[in-house]
Chains A and B, each alone.
Chain A
Amino acid sequence: MLTCKDASHLVSHSQDRTLGFRERWELRIHLWMCVNCRRFERQIGLMRRLLRQSARQAEAEAADRQLPAEARERIRQALPSSNGTRTTQPPEKRPSS
């Protein structure tokens, strides 16, 4: 018999990998009998769903975020300059596509 603690572990694992047959079966039986773990499972799932929804929104809001100007200048300084001091040459020919 699974304890609630075991069941909560399996609920979390199920967000990362497919549970084995036995794990799935034991978890199902436990959830069927235990209202607390049923709530836990639902809430962990809900948390992921709300997070993904929020993260997409936050990402859309950050879409115009830019590399700060000082950092850009610093990186430019760190890169070899474009007027001939660079040693890397472009390939002779681009592979045919």
Chain B
Amino acid sequence: MQKDSILRATDPDEWLESHGDALFRFAMKHLHDSASAEDVVQETLLAALQTWDRFAGNASERTWLTSILKHKIADLIHKQSRESPFENDVQDSHGNPAACLFDQRGEWVVPQRAWGDPDAMYEQNRFWEAFTCCYDGLSPKLATAFSLREFSGFSIDELCEILNISSSNCSVILYRARLALKACLESGWFDNTIREGVS
């Protein structure tokens, strides 16, 4: 019985059948692009086949495949960021929202406005829609960094490693992404929902 399950488990077709959808969903969460997600799933299964003999069998098959997938995703993002390094973006003042939000003395050019009651606003259910629209407007690099940090839950150290940049540049990129998103949300979604009196 146990032997049988081992033999079945080495069948990559079986892996594809049992775990393909879950691996694909996981990859989509990180890569947001169906073609890349499909490719890393394929690479993961091929890599799994090569390293099967090293699989200790004390983790579940799904966990084992997912950990290979994570590495493949990190490799892919790492590779993309090498092809067009993030460092250039940090030097570049274009796409730096801080440039127009603060004056020369470092004070806010425009006062920060109060937002309305957050939960009431959330319930209007338009937050995600507005956010997606603002997120799509970010430069791809800011968007990648922000998404790895906020949605994939990588720590700042892991993020710097994946993107192959120094930790201060990593912080700068996240800072810019947050400023840009907040400004965008404010100019669209929050404008319609700002209420009096709550700051």
Binding site for B on A (CB under 8 A): 3-6, 8-9, 12-13, 15-17, 35-40, 42-44, 46-55, 57-59, 62-63, 65-68, 71-72, 74-76, 78-80, 82, 86, 88-91, 94-95, 97
A74–B57 alpha-carbon span in the complex (Å): 28
Contact B108 A54 (CB under 8 A): no
Contact B122 A53 (CB under 8 A): yes
Contact A75 B38 (CB under 8 A): yes
- Contacts A47-B178, A55-B151 given; indicate if A36 touches B108 (C-beta within 8 A): yes
A36–B101 alpha-carbon span in the complex (Å): 12
Count of interface residues, chain B, beta-carbon cutoff 8 Å: 60
A6–B149 alpha-carbon span in the complex (Å): 22
- Contacts A90-B7, A95-B56 given; indicate if A4 touches B108 (C-beta within 8 A): yes
Contacts of A39 in B (CB 8 A): 112-115, 199
Contact A3 B105 (CB under 8 A): yes
Binary CB contact string for chain B from 10 to 29 against chain A (1 if under 8 A, 0 otherwise): 11110010001101110011
- Interface of chain B residues 41 through 61 with chain A (CB within 8 A): 41-42, 45-46, 49-50, 52-53, 55-58
- Contacts A17-B156, A74-B38, A76-B16 given; indicate if A62 touches B28 (C-beta within 8 A): yes
A72–B11 alpha-carbon span in the complex (Å): 15
- Contacts A36-B108, A47-B178, A68-B34 given; indicate if A5 touches B98 (C-beta within 8 A): yes
A and B contact pairs by CB, cutoff 8 A, 20 listed? A3-B102, A4-B108, A5-B106, A17-B156, A42-B115, A47-B178, A49-B118, A54-B127, A62-B28, A68-B34, A71-B38, A72-B16, A76-B16, A88-B53, A90-B6, A90-B9, A91-B52, A94-B6, A95-B58, A97-B57
Contact B175 A9 (CB under 8 A): yes
